[in-house]
Amino acid sequence: MTDDPTDRCEVYETCEALKTLETKGRESRDQSMEVDARVRYRRHMREAHRREVPLPS
């Protein structure tokens, strides 16, 4: 296994947890939770996966 963080399961668990939190916020109409999860997800993708996620339109 390499040192690439995308190879580690816990990194993907973080992705899934943040996407779930975003969905939960959207479904419960909690915009603060939704936006916070989206910001944290984008930051995680940038730092852990070295990918940029486009802003929602």
CA–CA distance, 36 with 4 (Å, rounded to integer):
26
Calculated CA dihedral for residues 50, 54, 34, 16, nearest 10 degrees:
-40
15 lies in some domain:
yes
> Is 50 in contact with 35 (CB distance < 8 Å)?
no
pLDDT tens for residues 15-47?
899 999 999 999 999 999 999 999 999 999 999
How many structural domains compose the chain?
1
User: Does residue 29 lie within any of the structural domains?
Assistant: yes
pLDDT category at 7 given cuts 50, 70, 90 is: low
Instruction: Decide if 54 is inside a domain.
Output: no
Radius of gyration of the chain (CA): 12
pTM over 0.85: no
Domain enclosing residue 11, as ranges:
7-48
Confidence of residue 2 (pLDDT cuts 50, 70, 90): very low
